């Protein structure tokens, strides 16, 4: 095995492939590269030793660790690589150089960020994910997506700037830019980094960019977006803030509040965006608990979430691609014309609902057990409520309104084969990692084997009687509630409308205030401008009169003037010498 | 790299590098006048300047090597100093020699296409002959340790410069009055200098600079010495385009052939400034009361005046070369301000800016030469839209322009930073504000061009995609990348400038 191959960060490979892809007009070759690069990346990753700095550099006195694999980053990197592969397959029917290349580079940047060993490199790839991912939103090509992408970019860059400021603080205080665990949030550097990560993880009140941009992204773009940005933030939290108490509450609130929005939202992709929030909440909460079991749970759940959330976004993307909408009010009854998509969507929906034998069950039960062991009953109840909510909005609402419910009369073709293939692979993974380990090493044990705290993971039993019973009770009762509510017509009907979220504060009220200030400025401004220009104009005239090519300094006989100046300076120096030496 | 040079150079090169550095171009100059073909003349001038570059690097290596005393002294014709003429190289002029010869190589490499376009065919070899003579003169000024010999070399370079400027007449007739004005003023400067040297000879009885320096401390009260000081400073100040004695420069730079402008801007004023520094710090000394007074009451105010006034003048110019010429005078102002601080830090900041400015203006005038070659005009209007039709040339121009402003990660930023440190150390914080203000003016005048280049539609849209020839682009990009490289790691140029400043001050060097 040549050393240069083990020293190659798979993320860099994807970024390079992405750059090549942008300039490659041949569609099939480009897409083959997009599929091949993640496969090669997986091979590279499998060959790389863990806990070794494979590639380091020293730039401007900073010691950078460009490639380092350990138990934590391995899982995220593997999940990102699989997601990049699925995305490339899912995008096979499109012909968009920029989107193909940028998606590849975006995934590569997320992988490279997961495999770096210092804050500065993390920052660089953090910014690359921001810049490349914006093309996923832009790719939709609509006016709304343009504005959403600009807001998205602004927020992402803000996160990067905060991160850089935090790194600068940390470097100044400690002289260490290695990845480190921050225990005290009171230090300004740690706090800035915390907020920067929080923006990308879509913390409550910092979350609006997600619901704003994902539903407006292109068919492929939304799938790509769902995999990387928020999960990278989860990785960063797990790396640098494990056991940070404030994360427990933030995570718990994150799991609960999207439920209300998701239940009443009409755009099904926006429902998925809220459900992303909710799933991230579970992981953040687990990271806050910080025990090995909890961290295992967070990592495993991130892995599972990348698969089933990607699957759900893919199925909604297929619906959007065929029908041109994801509005619940305009959909329904699609199971007749899109049977395969329906099945895959159901797999995703059941997975996210944590039904036993599906992926989220084996991952989320770790989180719930960890919270219970840590003695946090209120948090546990909040998570249980959120789990019921997940079933409500993602497990039932998405497939029900899209594929069943009242028949919209739409008769479309089944999704293209490549979409079905990608969905099928995601569905396979979602089921495979949820199965009991009948054959040791397969089923859920395959995933548990990869987790950072392997001993704890292998000792943990997801399929115990009380786990299954609790979960089934929850699922059955929640389903029963849905049926009841639906039966009595209390369940919020699918109808078009705009749900107000906290981004109303800046998108409407802030905008209004800016407009008002603009009107006032429009009155006051001209008066001030007149005064200002009166003054500066006069100053400008004076300066121009002196310095311009026709000005005073350029006039007069050149040679004569120079001779006079020379004599004058000579006189000056002589005079100075005369005075000082005396 | 320097070690390799020392080890691989033959003995004769090590022993005679100093005279060969000047003699090779000086002998080649009359030979070139006889060469019939311009292309052969071009090759010979590249070879001549390249030989000088090698010798200057050898000298730098010897001077920097730890086992030597830091000085190379060569007695011409074995007439020992102080009676004979001495070539004397220390860290200060080794740096200047490397700068001049490196710029000479780059300039002669890029010269041929522009010379063909701007100089009548029958005068091409004569043109190159004058160029090599000018080059040899500049090297001679930088290398000699004899005050009168310095005057001789100064005249060799100046006379050939007048010829070079006048040859711009075939492109623009205004080159003739510009050259004439330059001749009159340059002669005033040279005369002042030689009068000053005469005064020193009268007072000390010697022409060897090291010898003069050893005798001067006892003679500081002498009016003769003070008069000599005044004449020398004003004379060299005129040659270095010190404000307000700069008025020959804008015309000479804007009407001469574009290759000449590029070469002169990167070397001529720099060498004159070197001579001034040599006299201020090595022959005379900042400890002399009259020199300290001249620093505080003349050089510092004039440096600041140049920085501000000429930046303002640059803002209002419509001709790009004229604008860059005024900017050059402003940049000389920075260097003189650094020198006038009178400390090692100040002098090294001034020398550091001297190096960086040579790279900046070299690149800018090279890009302008490329535009003159392909699009003929030098007005800002002619630059409109060139960013699209000549992206490589204009990107390099933009890099050098940003460096001129002093944008971080460029060489110009580093030298302004060093100047700022030196000024703060001296407590001249108000001067730092003025430096920043002058940089702000630079933003305006550079910004005007960049705006035209990249954001305005082309005046003549039919002229699409016309890049400069490769021999022009390569030196241009070498300089542009050097601006970025030395903006990131300053070790090499700053080390050179520090050594040079120490050598200028150092007790063991000239006294």
Q: How many Å apart are CA B270 and CA B500, to the nearest integer? A: 14
Interface of A with B (CB under 8 A): 60, 543-544, 546-549, 551, 553-554, 558-559, 561-563, 565-566, 569-570, 572-574, 576-581
Q: Is the ipTM of this complex over 0.85?
A: no
- Kindly determine whether residue A577 and residue B185, on different chains, have CB atoms separated by under 8 Å: no
Q: Can you spell out the DSSP letters for A542-554?
A: HHHHHHSTTSGGG
Nearest CA-CA distance, residue A151 and chain B, Å: 26
pLDDT tens per residue across span B101-156: 999 999 999 988 888 888 888 888 888 999 999 999 999 999 998 999 999 999 99
Residue A557 has pLDDT above 60, yes or no: no
Pure H helices in B144-222: 147-166, 175-204, 209-215
Contact A60 B488 (CB under 8 A): yes
CB contacts of B188 in chain A (<8 Å) are: 562-563, 566
Give Cβ neighbours of residue A74 (< 8 Å, ≥ 6 apart): A45, A50, A450
Q: Please say if the pLDDT value at position A2 is more than 70.
A: no
Which candidate, A200, A228, A203, A214, places its Cα nearest to that of A268? A214
- How many C-beta atoms lie closer than 10 Å to residue A446's C-beta? 15
Query: How far from A499 is each of A258, A260, A267, A327, CA to CA, in Å?
Result: 12, 10, 10, 13
Which phi-psi region, left, alpha or beta, contains residue B406 (left: φ > 0; alpha: ψ -120 to 50)? left
Structure-token pair, residue B237: 């100040």
With cut-offs at 50, 70 and 90, classify the pLDDT of residue A22: confident
B279 part of contact set with chain A, CB < 8 Å = no
Is there a contact between B237 and A570 if contact means CB atoms under 8 Å apart? no
| Tens digits of residue pLDDT in A342-389 | 999 999 998 898 888 888 888 888 898 888 888 888 888 888 888 888
CB within 8 Å: A574 and B189: no
**Cis bond before residue B82 (omega within 30° of 0):** yes
Read off the tokens for B258: 């574009």
How far apart (Å, rounded) are the C-alpha atoms in residues B427 and A574? 27
CA–CA separation, A311 and A348 (whole Å): 6
Helix H, strand E, coil C: the string for B463-479 is CCCCCCCHHHHHHHHHH
Tell me the domain boundaries of chain A.
304-498, 502-529, 552-582
Quote the crossing angle between the two packed helices A97-114 and A71-90, to the nearest 10°: 170
Residue A220: CB partners within 8 Å, gap ≥ 6?
A87, A90, A91, A94, A96, A99, A103, A136, A139, A317
Taking the CA of residue A139 and the nearest CA in chain B, the distance in Å comes to 27
Closest chain B C-alpha to A57 CA, distance in angstroms: 16
B330 touches A: beta carbon within 8 Å: no
pLDDT tens figures, B417-448: 888 888 888 888 888 888 888 988 888 889 88
Provide the 3-class DSSP secondary structure of residue A332. coil
What does the pLDDT look like over A242-271, one tens digit per residue? Answer: 888 889 999 999 888 888 888 888 888 888
For A185-209, give one letter per residue: b (16+ CB within 10 A) or e: bebebbbbbbbbbbbbbbbbebbbb
Determine the pLDDT at residue B510: 39
* Distance of residue B70 Cα from the nearest chain A Cα, in angstroms: 31
Q: What is the pLDDT of residues B74-101, one digit of tens each?
A: 888 888 878 888 888 888 888 899 999 9
Question: Tens digit of pLDDT for each residue in A174-218?
Answer: 888 888 888 888 888 889 999 999 999 888 888 888 888 888 888
Nearest to B181 among A558, A565, A570 (CB): A558
Residue B80: partners with Cβ closer than 8 Å, 6 or more residues away: none
Which residues, including other chains, have CB under 8 Å from residue B291's CB and lie 6 or more apart?
B229, B280, B284, B285
Residue B508 confidence (pLDDT) above 60: no
- Among B1-10, B435-444, B474-483, whose mean pLDDT is lowest? B1-10
Q: Which residue of A has its CA nearest to B227?
A: A574
Interface of B with A in 211-230 (CB under 8 A): 220-221, 226-227, 229-230
Chain B interface mutation, best of A540, A543, A577, A578, highest count of B Cβ atoms under 10 Å: A577
Strand partners for A63: A58
Q: Residue A52 above 80 pLDDT?
A: no
Task: Kindly list the domain boundaries of chain B, sorted by start residue.
Answer: 297-511
**pLDDT attached to residue A553:** 67
Report whether B158 contacts B137 (CB < 8 A): yes
Instruction: Taking residues B453-466, report their average pLDDT.
Output: 72
Partner-chain residue, chosen from A549, A559, A569, that has the shortest CB–CB distance to B185: A559
pLDDT per position as a tens digit, B242-282: 888 888 888 888 888 888 999 998 899 999 999 999 998 88
Query: Are A581 and B290 in contact (CB < 8 Å)?
Result: yes
Residues paired with residue B208 on neighbouring β-strands, in sequence order? B146
Judge: A559–B245 Cβ closer than 8 Å, yes or no. Answer: no
* Selection from A486-500, B11-25, B93-107, B491-505 with the highest mean pLDDT: B93-107
- Which three-class secondary structure string do you get for B430-487? HHHHHHHHHHHHHHHHHHHHHHHHHHCCCCCCCCCCCCCCHHHHHHHHHHHHHHHHHH
- Report the gap between the CA of A557 and the closest CA in chain B (Å): 10
Least Cα distance to B257 among B382, B94, B117 occurs for B117
pLDDT per residue as tens digits for the range B322-366: 899 999 999 999 999 999 988 888 899 999 999 999 999 999 999
Pairing type for strands B72-75 and B86-89 reads: antiparallel
Q: What is the pLDDT of residue B511?
A: 36
Beta bridge partners of A52: A69
Rounded to the nearest angstrom, the minimum Cα separation between A10 and chain B is 29
Asked if B316 has any chain A CB less than 8 Å from its own CB, the reply is: yes
> Beta partners for A327?
A267
Q: Are B99 and B23 in contact (CB under 8 A)?
A: no
């Amino acid at each position: 095995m040549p050393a240069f191959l083990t020293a190659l960060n798979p993320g860099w490979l994807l970024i390079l492939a992405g750059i090549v892809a942008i300039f490659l007009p041949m569609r099939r070759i480009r897409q083959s590269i997009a599929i091949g690069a993640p496969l090669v990346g997986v091979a590279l990753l499998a060959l790389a030793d863990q806990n070794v700095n494979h590639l380091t550099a020293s730039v401007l006195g900073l010691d950078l660790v460009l490639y380092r694999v350990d138990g934590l980053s391995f899982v995220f990197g593997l999940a990102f690589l699989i997601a990049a592969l699925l995305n490339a397959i899912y995008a096979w029917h499109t012909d968009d150089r920029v989107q193909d290349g940028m998606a590849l580079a975006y995934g590569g940047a997320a992988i490279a960020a997961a495999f770096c060993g210092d804050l500065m490199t993390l920052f660089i790839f953090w910014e690359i994910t921001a810049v490349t991912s914006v093309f996923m939103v832009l790719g939709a090509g609509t006016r709304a997506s343009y504005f959403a992408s600009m807001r998205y970019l602004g927020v992402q860059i803000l996160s990067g700037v905060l991160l850089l400021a935090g790194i600068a603080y940390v470097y100044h205080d400690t002289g260490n830019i290695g990845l480190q665990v921050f225990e005290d949030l009171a230090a300004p550097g740690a706090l800035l980094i915390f907020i920067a990560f929080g923006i990308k993880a879509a913390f409550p009140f910092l979350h609006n960019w997600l619901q704003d941009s994902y539903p407006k992204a292109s068919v492929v773009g939304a799938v790509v977006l769902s995999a990387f940005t928020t999960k990278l933030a989860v990785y960063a939290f797990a790396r640098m803030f494990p056991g940070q108490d404030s994360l427990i509450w933030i995570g718990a609130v994150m799991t609960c509040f999207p439920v209300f929005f998701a239940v009443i939202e009409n755009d099904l992709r926006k429902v998925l965006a809220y459900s992303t929030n909710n799933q991230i909440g579970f992981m953040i909460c687990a990271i806050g608990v910080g025990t090995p079991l909890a961290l295992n749970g967070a990592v495993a759940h991130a892995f599972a979430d990348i698969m089933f959330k990607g699957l759900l976004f893919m199925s909604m993307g297929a619906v959007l691609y065929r029908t041109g909408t994801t509005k619940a009010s305009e959909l329904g009854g699609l199971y007749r014309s899109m049977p395969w998509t329906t099945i895959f969507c159901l797999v995703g929906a059941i997975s996210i609902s944590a039904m036993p034998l599906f992926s989220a069950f084996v991952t989320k039960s770790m989180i719930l057990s960890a919270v219970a062991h840590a003695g946090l009953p209120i948090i546990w109840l909040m998570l249980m409520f959120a789990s019921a909510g997940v079933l409500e909005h993602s497990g039932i609402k998405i497939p029900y309104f899209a594929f069943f419910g009242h028949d919209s009369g739409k008769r479309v073709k089944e999704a293209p084969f490549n979409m079905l293939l990608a969905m099928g692979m995601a569905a396979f993974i979602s089921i495979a990692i949820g199965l009991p380990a009948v054959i040791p090493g397969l089923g859920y044990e395959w995933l548990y084997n990869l987790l950072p705290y392997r001993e704890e993971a292998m000792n943990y039993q997801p399929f115990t009687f009380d786990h299954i019973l609790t979960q089934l009770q929850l699922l059955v009762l929640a389903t029963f509630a849905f049926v009841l509510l639906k039966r009595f017509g209390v369940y919020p009907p699918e109808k078009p409308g705009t749900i107000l979220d906290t981004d109303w504060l800046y998108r409407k009220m802030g905008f209004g205030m800016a407009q008002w200030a603009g009107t006032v400025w429009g009155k006051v401004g001209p008066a001030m401008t007149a005064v200002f220009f009166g003054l500066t104009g006069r100053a400008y005239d004076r300066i121009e009169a002196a310095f311009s090519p026709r000005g005073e300094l350029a006039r007069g006989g050149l040679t004569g003037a120079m001779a006079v100046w020379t004599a004058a300076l000579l006189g000056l120096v002589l005079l100075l010498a005369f005075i000082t030496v005396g | 790299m320097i070690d390799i040079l020392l080890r691989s150079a033959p003995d004769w090169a090590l022993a005679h590098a100093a005279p060969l550095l000047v003699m090779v171009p000086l002998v080649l100059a009359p030979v070139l006048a006889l060469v019939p073909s311009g292309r052969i003349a071009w090759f010979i001038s590249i070879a001549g300047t390249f030989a000088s570059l090698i010798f200057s690097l050898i000298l730098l290596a010897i001077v920097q090597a730890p086992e030597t005393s830091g000085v190379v002294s060569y007695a011409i014709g074995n007439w020992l100093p102080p009676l004979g003429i001495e070539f004397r190289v220390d860290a200060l002029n080794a740096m200047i020699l490397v700068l001049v010869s490196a710029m000479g190589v780059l300039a002669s490499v890029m010269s041929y296409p522009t010379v063909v376009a701007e100089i009548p065919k029958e005068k091409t070899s004569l043109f190159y002959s004058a160029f090599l003579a000018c080059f040899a003169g500049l090297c001679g000024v930088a290398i000699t340790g004899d005050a009168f010999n310095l005057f001789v070399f100064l005249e060799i370079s100046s006379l050939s410069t007048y010829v070079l400027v006048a040859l711009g007449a075939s492109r623009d007739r205004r080159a003739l009055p510009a050259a004439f004005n330059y001749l009159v003023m340059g002669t005033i400067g040279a005369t002042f200098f030689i009068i000053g040297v005469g005064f020193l000879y009268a007072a000390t009885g010697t022409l060897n600079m090291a010898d003069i320096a050893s005798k001067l401390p006892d003679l500081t009260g002498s009016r003769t010495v003070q008069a000599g000081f005044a004449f020398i400073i004003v004379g060299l100040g005129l040659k270095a385009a010190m404000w307000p004695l700069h008025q020959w420069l804008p015309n000479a730079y804007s009407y001469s052939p574009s290759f000449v402008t590029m070469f002169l801007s990167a070397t001529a004023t720099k060498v004159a400034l070197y001579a001034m520094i040599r006299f201020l710090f090595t022959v005379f000394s900042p400890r002399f009361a009259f020199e300290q007074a001249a620093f505080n009451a003349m050089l510092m105010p004039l440096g600041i005046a140049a920085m501000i006034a000429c930046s303002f003048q640059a803002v209002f110019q419509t001709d790009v070369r004229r604008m860059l010429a005024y900017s050059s005078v402003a940049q000389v102002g920075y260097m003189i301000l650094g020198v006038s601080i009178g400390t090692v830090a100040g002098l090294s900041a001034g020398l550091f800016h001297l190096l960086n400015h040579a790279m900046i203006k070299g690149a800018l005038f090279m890009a302008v030469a490329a535009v003159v070659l392909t699009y003929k005009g030098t007005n800002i209007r002619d630059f409109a839209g060139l960013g699209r039709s000549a992206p490589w040339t204009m990107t390099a121009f933009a890099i050098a322009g940003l460096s001129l402003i002093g944008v971080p990660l460029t060489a110009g930023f580093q030298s302004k930073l060093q100047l700022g440190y030196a000024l703060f150390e001296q407590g001249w914080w108000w001067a730092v504000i003025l430096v920043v203000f002058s940089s702000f003016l630079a933003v305006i005048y550079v910004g005007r061009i960049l705006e035209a280049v990249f954001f305005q539609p082309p005046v003549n849209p039919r002229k699409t995609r016309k890049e400069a020839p490769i021999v022009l682009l390569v030196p241009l990009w070498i300089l542009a990348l050097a601006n970025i490289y030395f903006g990131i790691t300053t070790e090499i140029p700053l080390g050179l400038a520090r050594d040079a400043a120490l050598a200028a001050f150092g007790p063991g060097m000239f006294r």
